[in-house]
Chains A and B, each alone.
Chain A
Amino acid sequence: ETGVTQSPTHLIKTRGQQVTLRCSSQSGHNTVSWYQQALGQGPQFIFQYYREEENGRGNFPPRFSGLQFPNYSSELNVNALELDDSALYLCASSLSLAAQETQYFGPGTRLLVL
């Protein structure tokens, strides 16, 4: 059973550019959540997808958008990048929406915006 994978591992962009980050869920998991972790902080919830539909969103502007595909892999897109978008982006998958299901986190994509 493969775990959660993310690509790329590192990325450097400049202000105003757009970026797409990718996440492959753990096998059989239909729920994916995305988090932003700034240096020295805890992760902050961006949004969640369940069976290809957005199922909740945190306090992030609309330039943060996402998709979930039929195979439950997911993308996070960020438009008009700002310096403060520099962070570790984590995706987490879980077997379902049930509260007792553990979220399994991927290794993250570290984004640097110059």
Chain B
Amino acid sequence: ELKVEQNPLFLSMQEGKNYTIYCNYSTTSDRLYWYRQDPGKSLESLFVLLSNGAVKQEGRLMASLDTKARLSTLHITAAVHDLSATYFCAVDRGQGGSEKLVFGKGMKLTVNP
């Protein structure tokens, strides 16, 4: 059974600081996704990582995938308050070509001014 673990689950950081959050998964998969969720809102797609060594950047966020280590990282650079949200990673269960995602529990990020 595919399990996805995120750590930390809660993070409080100051504006301007850097931090890396981690997503580990238990079985082979080449497809990993990062989503953001604001309180009471739906999920917003951040990154789709489809191969070993994939790296994608958008603004202050950069995501990478190491399929051999079954690990993805989401690096936050010079955090700002607007990044406060819950961040989920999700891994494709790999049943055929369809996206049947298994999500982690999410990492709640609070960026303090």
> A residues bordering B, Cβ < 8 Å?
31, 33, 35, 40-45, 48, 50, 55-56, 58, 90, 92, 94, 97-108
CA distance A42 to B87 in the complex (A): 10
Q: Is the CB of A42 within 8 A of B99?
A: no
Q: Report the count of interface residues on B (CB-CB < 8 A).
A: 28
CA distance A40 to B86 in the complex (A): 10
Q: Is the CB of B48 within 8 A of A100?
A: yes
> B residues bordering A, Cβ < 8 Å?
4, 30-31, 33, 35, 41-45, 48, 50, 88, 90, 92-93, 95-106
Shortest distance from the beta carbon of B97 to any chain A beta carbon, whole Å: 5
Closest 9 CB pairs of A and B: A42-B103, A105-B43, A105-B42, A97-B98, A97-B97, A102-B45, A107-B42, A56-B100, A43-B103
Among A55, A103, A108, point to the contact of B45 (Cβ < 8 A). A103
Closest to A41 in B: B105
Given A99-B31, A99-B50, A104-B102 contact (CB < 8 Å): no
Q: Is the CB of B42 within 8 A of A90?
A: yes
Interchain Cβ contacts within 8 Å, total number: 73
Shortest distance from the beta carbon of A24 to any chain B beta carbon, whole Å: 14
* A107 CB contacts on chain B under 8 angstroms: 41-42
CA distance A50 to B99 in the complex (A): 11
Sampled A-B contacts (14; CB under 8 Å): A33-B100, A33-B101, A35-B101, A42-B90, A48-B99, A56-B100, A58-B100, A97-B97, A97-B98, A97-B99, A99-B31, A102-B33, A102-B48, A105-B35
CA distance A70 to B17 in the complex (A): 50
* B103 CB contacts on chain A under 8 angstroms: 35, 42-44
Given A42-B103, A42-B104, A99-B97 contact (CB < 8 Å): yes
CA distance A55 to B96 in the complex (A): 9
* A105 CB contacts on chain B under 8 angstroms: 35, 42-45
* B97 CB contacts on chain A under 8 angstroms: 97-99
